[in-house]
Structure 1
Amino acid sequence: MKKSKHYACLPLLGLAVSFLIAGCAAKDAAIPESKNWYKGNLHTHSYWSDGDEFPEVIMRWYKENGYQFVALSDHNIFQEGEKWVNIRQDSMYRNAFQNYLKDYGDSWVSYEENGDTLRVKLKTFAEYAPLYEEAERFLLLPAEEISAGYEGKPLHLNATNLDQLIQPREGGSVVEVLQNNINAVLEQRKESGKPMIVHINHPNFRWAITLEDMIRLKGERFFEVYNGHPAVNNLGDSTRIGYEEMWDFINIAYLEKGQPLLFGLATDDSHSYHEQSSKLANSGRGWVVVKAGELTAGALIEALEMGDFYASTGVELEEVHFADNQLEVRAKPKAGVSYTLEFIGCNTGEKETRVLKTVRGNAATFELEEDLLFVRCKITSSEAQVNPVENMPYQLAWTQPVRPSDSEKEKP
């Protein structure tokens, strides 16, 4: 199928990598691996809520640009039932509709014109998913952005691979609202027997969720260490911390309480598909690369919960290997591109992390001493990110935090 004309080309993240990653309890690095790496985005929007493109066009873009899985997570809605949208009169949107009509045909597109009004019937998940799903090549995950609030604060969580739509639950505080909705996902997972995950979206969006709020949550295993929306304050401001610093403080607190480590995701949170701008929520800014035995929802979610993935805004890793308290990281060499690898962590009993080791080069190894609480690696490239947001011009990647291998009790 022909590629839509209104998309700017973005660099692909090659997925043919000879990549090895192990969980915290890995003992034998010589055991042959039979898993694959899959690139995906877990936060995306369409005309079904506040995005500005048809879901099948969005899925086509992701498939053509090297992704293997996508969760289309519209606000408080599944892509099911009948829904019509009015297409704005702006020529950009009307021209995009004409492209849509040309590419998919009158037999696929249902629309009505009445004077200046143009209404289009949206395709459901059941209708558009078969267009693109292929075994071991592309998978669509049913998802929802559960969009609740408290006293005007937007409290959003993404639920991936849901069985049924979850109506936002209320509560008497920010923490209570978040916890009630986390519990709703965990309850559905238990009752259905279907693998699913929930993650906290963009805590600093309108400064809705504080570090203290996050620390008080139970059962949450994921949050967005990077979100590609231009209004979510990834870096914080002069008085409030950014997501990466928040991540470390949360994990120190979680481990002190005996809770599992929190893992960091990178996502697009894409809404705008017709213009490329640092002021718009475009596709191609953030993703995860997951190591799993097969491209199925169950295998992906199992790998995510084991921390067998990395988050990226452009950096491609060739190796992340943790065994025998040795964390090895290697970025894919690129001509004219340099890398800085920072191993970040702290010792048991410390209240904040620090950079434990810095290596300028594409590969490094870090040995975890027994008194180390956890360590993770941040990889910064000299290569500019395409269409960046905030003051984040360079491509980045983050490995997930790991603990000394004798701490299996913390492993999920």
Structure 2
Amino acid sequence: MDSPWRSNGDWLRAALHTHSTSSDGELVPRAVARHYGRAGYDVVALTDHWHRSTAPSTPELLVLPGVELNCALPDERDGHVLGIGIDRDPTELEGERRDLAATGEWIVAAGGVAYLAHPYWTGARPGGIELPESVTGIEVFNAGCELEVGRGLSSVHWDELLEAGALCPALVTDDSHHPGFDSDHAWTWIRAERTAPSVLDALRRGRFYGSSGPVIHDVESGEGEVVVRCTPARSVTLLCGRTSGTAVNAGRLGYRYGAEVLETTADDWIVAARLDLPGTAPFARIEVVDPKGRRAWTNPVWPA
């Protein structure tokens, strides 16, 4: 998995899970794209249910066609899979609900990148999902699911996959159906050129991080440690598996565990921290929480 902070390209703010009137959204595809363009986004993927929606790109906004397909998960759960960047309509599937691997294979054959959507909202058990080769990763946070029923955060599902050796990246999305109400709550920062091939390659290789607020300026991993620089934060945590991890918390009496604060703002919020990286950790990823409780999530990081 590539580090976005050590890659070439621009930082592109992306909305990768949106819906229009082509399925169950409130605005037509062009209006969805314009809405996100006005909000300062660089990339939007139109991911209607069982329909490939399109809208014209502009020099400022890259619009990717996509889809959200149903699939069969273990325990007879109904899963949803995002297909970002597909080049043909899924009408040939005739609504057929295939298993996760076969659904991902169709998306890949159609030129797209597959991600398992909102597993917590779906009701999938943590540890009960095996990610096939055809599916790149999952959504770790879905703002729409969080707003509706409080089931938008799938970090335990992600950690179980990472613990089992599936070192996959994870998206952060709105899943917007009603722009203006459930939009601009969560997004993915992609390191890429403003072209479809470059963005899709970055999604395949994990050159991005997700956020609902904080900006992560840099993550530098070396032997035995990780240094994080970010916008003001109340905590920075390195999650390293079921039994290990390190963290710093803001304030004069803020708790530190296997880590140290390197720099703070005048009012004592953290903007740089060094965290110990245990050599036996099966994976390592970072979460940053800002003073308002909003989060950012990196993909797994490893010593350089």
Please, what TM-score do these two structures have when normalized by structure 2? 0.82
1:157 aligns with 2:157: no
**Cα offset, 1:77, TM superposition:** 0.7
Give secondary structure in 2 for the equivalent of 1:373. Answer: coil
Tell whether the 8 Å contact from 2:246 to 2:276 is kept in structure 1 after alignment. Answer: no
Aligned match of 2:245: 355
Tell whether the 8 Å contact from 1:318 to 1:332 is kept in structure 2 after alignment. Answer: yes
Deviation per CA, 1:279-309, whole angstroms, max 9, x where unpaired?
xxx10111100112x1112211222333221
Give secondary structure in 1 for the equivalent of 2:291. Answer: strand
Tell whether the 8 Å contact from 1:343 to 1:358 is kept in structure 2 after alignment. Answer: no
Aligned match of 1:339: 234
Q: Tell me how far apart the structure 1 counterparts of residues 203 and 283 of structure 2 sit (CA, whole Å).
A: 18
Q: Tell me how far apart the structure 2 counterparts of residues 326 and 355 of structure 1 sit (CA, whole Å).
A: 11
**Cα offset, 1:42, TM superposition:** 0.7
Q: Tell me how far apart the structure 1 counterparts of residues 130 and 65 of structure 2 sit (CA, whole Å).
A: 28
Q: Tell me how far apart the structure 1 counterparts of residues 65 and 224 of structure 2 sit (CA, whole Å).
A: 37
Aligned match of 2:114: 198
* Alpha-carbon distance change, 169 to 329 in structure 1, aligned in 2, over 3 angstroms: farther
* Alpha-carbon distance change, 325 to 373 in structure 1, aligned in 2, over 3 angstroms: same
Q: Tell me how far apart the structure 2 counterparts of residues 248 and 65 of structure 1 sit (CA, whole Å).
A: 32
Query: Of the two structures, which has the highest relative contact order with CA contacts closer than 8 Å and spacing of 6 or more?
Result: 1
Letter in 1 for 2:190: V
Match for residue 174 of structure 2 among 268, 278, 281? 268
Tell whether the 8 Å contact from 1:202 to 1:232 is kept in structure 2 after alignment. Answer: no
Consecutive unaligned residues of structure 1, counting only runs of 5 or more, are 1-20, 80-124, 172-176, 190-195, 236-241, 277-281, 347-351, 384-393, 406-412
Letter in 1 for 2:3: G
1:170 aligns with 2:97: yes
Deviation per CA, 1:89-123, whole angstroms, max 9, x where unpaired?
xxxxxxxxxxxxxxxxxxxxxxxxxxxxxxxxxxx
Give secondary structure in 2 for the equivalent of 1:179. Answer: helix
Q: Tell me how far apart the structure 1 counterparts of residues 143 and 16 of structure 2 sit (CA, whole Å).
A: 12
Tell whether the 8 Å contact from 1:267 to 1:288 is kept in structure 2 after alignment. Answer: yes
Alignment of 1:213-292 (within 5 A): 213-215=128-130, 217-229=132-144, 230-231=147-148, 233-234=150-151, 243-253=154-164, 255=165, 259=166, 261-273=167-179, 276=181, 282-292=182-192
Give secondary structure in 2 for the equivalent of 1:311. Answer: strand
Q: Tell me how far apart the structure 1 counterparts of residues 196 and 279 of structure 2 sit (CA, whole Å).
A: 35
1:129 aligns with 2:56: yes
Give secondary structure in 2 for the equivalent of 1:183. Answer: helix
Deviation per CA, 1:266-286, whole angstroms, max 9, x where unpaired?
100000136x3xxxxx10111
Aligned match of 2:256: none
Consecutive unaligned residues of structure 2, counting only runs of 5 or more, are 251-269
* Alpha-carbon distance change, 304 to 320 in structure 1, aligned in 2, over 3 angstroms: farther
Letter in 2 for 1:320: V
Q: Tell me how far apart the structure 2 counterparts of residues 325 and 354 of structure 1 sit (CA, whole Å).
A: 13
Deviation per CA, 1:204-252, whole angstroms, max 9, x where unpaired?
2251x222442264432211110011346436xxxxxx51122111111
Give secondary structure in 2 for the equivalent of 1:140. Answer: strand
Give secondary structure in 1 for the equivalent of 2:185. Answer: coil
Tell whether the 8 Å contact from 2:235 to 2:247 is kept in structure 1 after alignment. Answer: no
Tell whether the 8 Å contact from 2:221 to 2:303 is kept in structure 1 after alignment. Answer: no
Q: Tell me how far apart the structure 2 counterparts of residues 321 and 46 of structure 1 sit (CA, whole Å).
A: 39
* Alpha-carbon distance change, 308 to 366 in structure 1, aligned in 2, over 3 angstroms: farther
Tell whether the 8 Å contact from 2:2 to 2:205 is kept in structure 1 after alignment. Answer: no
* Alpha-carbon distance change, 206 to 231 in structure 1, aligned in 2, over 3 angstroms: farther
**Cα offset, 1:186, TM superposition:** 2.6
* Alpha-carbon distance change, 69 to 380 in structure 1, aligned in 2, over 3 angstroms: same
Q: Tell me how far apart the structure 2 counterparts of residues 316 and 299 of structure 1 sit (CA, whole Å).
A: 22
* Alpha-carbon distance change, 305 to 216 in structure 1, aligned in 2, over 3 angstroms: closer
Q: Tell me how far apart the structure 1 counterparts of residues 88 and 64 of structure 2 sit (CA, whole Å).
A: 13
**Cα offset, 1:22, TM superposition:** 6.0
Aligned length: 279
Q: Tell me how far apart the structure 1 counterparts of residues 274 and 290 of structure 2 sit (CA, whole Å).
A: 18
Q: Tell me how far apart the structure 1 counterparts of residues 76 and 8 of structure 2 sit (CA, whole Å).
A: 48
Tell whether the 8 Å contact from 2:209 to 2:296 is kept in structure 1 after alignment. Answer: yes
Letter in 2 for 1:358: V
Match for residue 297 of structure 1 among 193, 196, 199? 196
